[in-house]
Amino acid sequence: METIKRLWTKYKEYILYLVFGGLTTLVSWLSFYLCTHVIVMDVVPANVISWILAVAFAYVTNRKWVFESRARGGRKILREAAEFTAGRVLTLVIETAFLWFTVDVIGWNDLLMKVIISIVVVILNYVISKLFVFRK
């Protein structure tokens, strides 16, 4: 039991990021699937909608549980949210360019490409959040 407590203490942030990152990815994939296969939208607008929903979910969960932000007051929280969103805009551009090229230009499977780029995006988002947004 002591080993589990020690491991939890040491890796808590990573574990929580993976859990909430996984849930964020699920929000993104599910909304992307609904947009592209139920509503039948093109991949780029569908990806933007899925991104907006995922970023809103991610900010709340990352702020509260993963990085345990201590920012208080309207200005500090607004700045933090803006930095978080800016980092996510960067990865949105990367993700959207990848999807456009691999799906619209080359013709590869949209869902497979979404899975592949999501892995890269999760890693980039952690680095951006850790180093630039929720730094202690």
Give burial (CB, 10 Å; 0-12/13-18/19+) of 17. Answer: buried
- Domain residues for the domain of 41 are 2-133
Tokens found for residue 73: 């007051």
Rounded distance, CA 56 to CA 99, Å? Answer: 21
Q: How many domains does the chain have?
A: 1
CA distance 36 to 55: 19
Answer yes or no: is pLDDT of 1 > 80.
no
* pLDDT of residue 136 exceeding 80: no
- Whether 127 and 21 have beta carbons less than 8 Å apart is answered as no
What tokens were used for 70? Answer: 């201590």
Give pTM, 2 decimals: 0.78
Per residue in 64-105, pLDDT tens? 999 999 999 999 999 999 999 999 999 989 989 999 999 999
